Amino acid sequence: MVIDITFAALYAIFCWWIGTGVILWLDRLPQASFRWSMLVWTFLLGLSFWGVSVSMKEVSDFNAYLGFGSVIVMWGWHELAFLTGTLTGPRKIAMEEGATGWKRFTQSLQVVLHHEYALLLNFGFLCAMQLENPNHIALCTFALLWCMRVSAKLNLFFGVAENGAAYLPVHLKYLASYFRNRRLTWWFAISFSLSVVAWTWLVWQAQDGKVDMTTGWVLLASLLGLAIVEHALMIFPLPMQRIWGWALSRSSVTSV
């Protein structure tokens, strides 16, 4: 049992680490390569939908790994599409100087609007695929990634100490104008606390025997734990090179 739990947790960590690293590396290749990167990943996106459809049909350890891994690949397509500038929003310029309040919010939303529509559409497809199928790991994985990504985006909007602007590639450097650099905000306190409470509940439910310690449960708990770590990195100055140094060695990264 301990070996199964450890393997599931390590699998989640590996998917998170290698998936993020590959996307960061591809995003730092010459822009002429972006079309090919997106073409290959779109093929992988099709495979990921097939993997999800297979995983949803039966509850098993194999299908938990298949559904989780497939969604990580699926989510990677959205990340790569955004970071290469393929699918961002109708606004592709810096924020107007001095913009505040509603004006700042609408301009910030316009920067990512098409990306958000794509995520919403993807989630709708997954919900349709889930109908009358018993295994919910893929759908829950996508929903968890989506919720935590919305939380992260709002934290960048309201302001955090480490907003990652220094790691933006050249073609996205205008995004830095939408970030705020602040110590600690009410949104960070709320979002971080709720995430920790949710993770604690997941672990407690399993430890207390209220639910079976299944592979899918461990994968989701591990993924939420990693998302909490990512949120923590917004306030602690830990350089990303220590985690993804091999992926950040390209020269297209710039300080902004």
pLDDT, one tens digit per residue, over 148-163 is: 999 999 999 999 998 8
Residues of the chain with pLDDT > 90, as a percent, come to 75
| Per-residue confidence (pLDDT) for residue 208, from 0 to 100 | 66
pLDDT band, very low/low/confident/very high, at 253 (cuts 50, 70, 90): very low
Beta bridge partners of 253: 169
Cα–Cα distance measured from residue 144 to residue 137, given in angstroms and rounded to the nearest whole number:
10
Across the range 97-122, mean pLDDT stands at 95
For the chain, the distance separating the N- and C-terminal CA atoms, rounded to the nearest angstrom, is 48
| Per-residue confidence (pLDDT) for residue 86, from 0 to 100 | 94
Q: What share of the chain is helix, strand, coil (3-state, %, to 5)?
A: 70, 0, 25
Place of tokens 């994985």: 141
Which residues, at least 6 apart from 40, have a Cβ–Cβ distance to it below 8 Å? none
pLDDT band, very low/low/confident/very high, at 207 (cuts 50, 70, 90): confident
pTM flag (> 0.85):
yes
Residue 5 has pLDDT above 70, yes or no: yes
| Per-residue confidence (pLDDT) for residue 203, from 0 to 100 | 87
| Per-residue confidence (pLDDT) for residue 250, from 0 to 100 | 56
| Per-residue confidence (pLDDT) for residue 242, from 0 to 100 | 73
Return the higher-pLDDT residue of 134 and 203.
134
Would you kindly state where each structural domain of the chain is located, as residue ranges? 2-244
pLDDT band, very low/low/confident/very high, at 248 (cuts 50, 70, 90): confident
| Per-residue confidence (pLDDT) for residue 211, from 0 to 100 | 60
Return the higher-pLDDT residue of 214 and 186.
186
| Per-residue confidence (pLDDT) for residue 138, from 0 to 100 | 97
Tell me the backbone φ, ψ of residue 169, rounded to 5 degrees.
Answer: -70, 165
Cα–Cα distance measured from residue 87 to residue 116, given in angstroms and rounded to the nearest whole number:
9
CB-based contacts of 174-183 (< 8 A; 24+ apart in sequence): 174/92, 174/93, 174/94, 175/111, 176/256, 177/94, 177/95, 178/95, 178/107, 178/108, 178/111, 180/156, 182/158, 183/235
| Per-residue confidence (pLDDT) for residue 28, from 0 to 100 | 87
- 83-95 pLDDT, tens digit per residue, is 999 999 999 999 9
| Per-residue confidence (pLDDT) for residue 113, from 0 to 100 | 96
Average pLDDT value for the chain: 90
CA torsion angle 72 75 80 81 (round to 10): 160
